[in-house]
Amino acid sequence: MARSGIDVLVIGAGVSGITTALRLAERGHRVLIRARELPHESTSCAAGALWGPVVAEHERVTEWSDETLEAFRTLAAHPEAGVRLVQGLEASHTGMAPPVWLRDLPDLTLADPATLPAGYLSGWRYTAPIVDMPVYLTYLVLRAKDAGVQIEQGEAASLTEVPAGFDVLVNCTGADARALVPDPEVVPVRGQLVVVENPGIDEFFADAEDAAEMTYFLPHGDRMVLGSTAHPARTDRAWDPALAERIVARCAEVRPELAGARVLDHRVGFRPTRSRVRVEREAIPGGHLVHNYGHGGGGVSLSWGCASAAADLVEAP
Ligand SMILES: Cc1cc2nc3c(=O)[nH]c(=O)nc-3n(C[C@H](O)[C@H](O)[C@H](O)COP(=O)(O)OP(=O)(O)OC[C@H]3O[C@@H](n4cnc5c(N)ncnc54)[C@H](O)[C@@H]3O)c2cc1C
């Protein structure tokens, strides 16, 4: 039988930490989040964020992304959550077929190659949730606090024992799990985005292939997020003007009106890439440690499913 009334300390206030804390609080547990960076300084706030479990490996990825898709579809009816259902085009330079996780979407259709932007060989259209992360994180924090979750800023030096006053420690530290666990399998992959004024585009576009420099744009009302980059060897946190210029230029090859769009912001984050998402439990002095990290480029898309799985592990006898 699942345990009730558990005292839980969640380390990390990105999308994984807050969603896990919220799930636990909604199941009646007492939850404190402790995080070095508050939600709006986390990698989660930098994400684009288009639903799709990209660069995330685990046999339950489809189950977790489906649960998250359902959650986002519900949230799209609440404008304050920052989630929109948007139609768009994903296209491949090499002639790929749609990825497996899209195949159950009701409006997935193959695009006529003659309608694709120059240089693309295949493509498909579908409707998916796009999450405006700064707005969404504000919404999630409010919902978590309403459910009784407390959030404090602070650093966890180790995960070797459950601190006094708690039964379970939950590790949602994203790319920092590499040093904290420690887990050398975690590879932080630097990503950069540009936020511009939306010149009137209401569809998303995304490259299907992963590359160090790829093309996508995501409309969030009067703003657009343009991407992106993926550099495992780079640790610099400041935005790189040369990368930003190339991001805008690539997006403008698909939609020329983006060339002159006013730049509003630049974002940098570190995808917590790992050979396998880690949602696991281990016994440590003082109780249990539950891990929920390693979601790569799909942490937003897996957030609700992984939060439920982590909450199940917290409650396990
Ligand atoms: C450019 C870019 C674009 C992306 N686009 C998408 C997308 O379109 N769709 C999608 O699904 N995903 C996308 N992602 C991936 C997604 O952002 C991540 O998978 C997700 O944000 C990971 O969330 P997290 O909560 O696990 O980690 P994070 O957001 O990194 O949060 C980690 C938290 O742990 C805290 N922490 C770390 N160490 C400690 C410590 N020792 N003590 C206390 N606190 C600590 C941090 O301060 C932070 O609060 C993108 C990522 C990037 C960089």
pLDDT tens sequence across 200-250: 999 999 999 989 999 999 999 999 999 999 999 899 999 999 999 999 999
Closest residue by CA, ligand 1 atom 32: 173
The ligand 1 atom nearest the CA atom of 56: 19
Per-residue pLDDT, averaged over 279-295, amounts to: 98
The ligand 1 atom nearest the CA atom of 44: 21
CA of 161 to the centre of ligand 1 (A): 24
Closest residue by CA, ligand 1 atom 19: 299
CA of 302 to the centre of ligand 1 (A): 12
Given a cut of 80, is residue 1 above it in pLDDT? no
Query: In this predicted structure, what is the pLDDT of residue 13?
Result: 98
Kindly list the protein residues whose Cβ atom lies closer than 6 A to any atom of ligand 1.
Answer: 11-17, 34-37, 42-44, 46-50, 155-156, 172-176, 180, 191, 193, 227-228, 269, 271-272, 293, 295-301
CA of 30 to the centre of ligand 1 (A): 23
Task: Return phi, psi of residue 162, to 5°.
Answer: -80, 125
Query: In this predicted structure, what is the pLDDT of residue 55?
Result: 67
The pTM of the full predicted model, rounded to 2 decimals, is 0.97
Instruction: Indicate the pLDDT class of residue 3, thresholds 50, 70 and 90.
Output: confident
- Segments making up each domain of the chain, as ranges: 7-315
Helix, strand, coil percent content, the chain, rounded in steps of 5: 30, 30, 40
CA of 191 to the centre of ligand 1 (A): 11
Half-sphere exposure of 48 (CA within 13 A, CB side): 29
d(CA 310, CA 168): 11
pLDDT in tens, 97-143: 998 888 889 999 999 999 999 999 999 999 999 999 999 999 999 99
Per-residue pLDDT, averaged over 33-40, amounts to: 98
How high is the mean pLDDT of the chain? 96
On whether the CB atoms of residues 81 and 129 are closer than 8 A, the answer is: no
281 burial via Cβ count (<10 Å: 0-12, 13-18, 19+): middle
The ligand 1 atom nearest the CA atom of 39: 49
Our mutation pick for probing the ligand 1 site, out of 37, 189, 266, 301, counting the most ligand atoms within 8 A of Cβ, is 37
Q: What is the DSSP letter of 54?
A: B
Question: Check: CATH 3.50.50.60 for 7-315?
Answer: yes
Question: Helices in the chain by DSSP H: which ranges?
Answer: 15-26, 43-46, 61-75, 133-146, 177-180, 241-254, 303-315
pLDDT in tens, 144-198: 999 999 999 999 999 999 999 999 999 999 999 999 999 999 999 999 999 999 9
Residue 265 in tokens: 């912001």
The letter for the amino acid at 149 is V
The ligand 1 atom nearest the CA atom of 190: 53
State in Å, rounded, how far the first CA of the chain is from the last one: 7
pLDDT in tens, 43-71: 999 999 999 877 667 889 999 999 999 99
On whether the CB atoms of residues 171 and 180 are closer than 8 A, the answer is: yes
Residue with more model confidence, 53 or 199: 199
Q: What is the DSSP letter of 80?
A: G
User: Taking phi first (over 0 means left), then psi (-120 to 50 degrees means alpha), and beta for anything else, what does residue 191 get?
Assistant: beta
Query: b/e string for 96-121 if b means 16 or more Cβ within 10 A?
Result: eebeebeeebeeeeeeeeeebeeebe
Query: b/e string for 50-88 if b means 16 or more Cβ within 10 A?
Result: bbbbbbbebeebeebbebbbebbeebbeeeebbbbebeb
Secondary structure (3-state) at 13 = coil
pLDDT in tens, 259-283: 999 999 999 999 999 999 999 999 9
